[in-house]
Amino acid sequence: SRVLETIILRFLARIINADGTIDPKELSMLVDISIQLGLEGPEAHRILDDEMTRKSDASQLAQQIPDPVQQREVYAMGCLMGVSDGSVATQEQEVLAAFARGAGLPAQAAGALLAEVIAAKSGAKQVAVAAKEVGHEVASAAKQGAHGVAAATRRGVQKTKAAVKGGDETEKPAK
């Protein structure tokens, strides 16, 4: 019996279906997760089809996981699933809050974990954008020779560090 895997799949399916609309990106992510959990084919389809119509109580799902560490990990997975389409809808937040209550996770800790996941997702985007910009700048600077590449690389490092820290990308004037 794959109780934990089934609970995880039901909880994640509950999140992506919280608002009644399933984003294709979220569904693709859920299918990948089900494969990683070892729930494939008819078994996964049965669980997902059932969850789409039944909508499990997230609090009860959390209570079925006896280990608090696993509860927290599953909650974090739920946060990732919720933010996968770019933002966490109100209905998704409600499902996450119900799971956290069922897990005995204090609201402040649950909120902090969700904020961490959102910040990490946002930071990853900012770093990716900065890295892409750096690549373009270095490529165009290559036409100016070694000095141009070095200057573009320095600016790129500053931008990437700023993106990682979540700060602005303003450069300090050269002396």
Whole-model pTM?
Answer: 0.70
* Residues 36-91 pLDDT 10s: 988 888 888 888 888 888 889 999 999 999 999 999 999 999 998 988 877 888 99
Is residue 15 pLDDT above 90, yes or no? yes
Q: Compute the distance between CA of residue 121 and CA of residue 119 in angstroms, rounded to an integer.
A: 5
Residue 161 reports pLDDT greater than 50:
yes
Instruction: With cut-offs at 50, 70 and 90, classify the pLDDT of residue 5.
Output: very high
Give, as one character, the DSSP assignment of residue 20: S
Band of residue 132 on the pLDDT scale cut at 50, 70, 90: low
Written as six digits, the tokens of 100 are: 């956290």
Inter-residue long-range contacts of 100-108, CB under 8 Å, 24+ positions, other chains counted:
100/62, 100/75, 101/59, 101/62, 102/57, 102/58, 102/59, 102/60, 102/61, 102/62, 102/63, 103/62, 103/63, 103/65, 103/68, 103/71, 103/72, 103/74, 103/75, 104/68, 104/71, 105/71, 105/72, 105/75
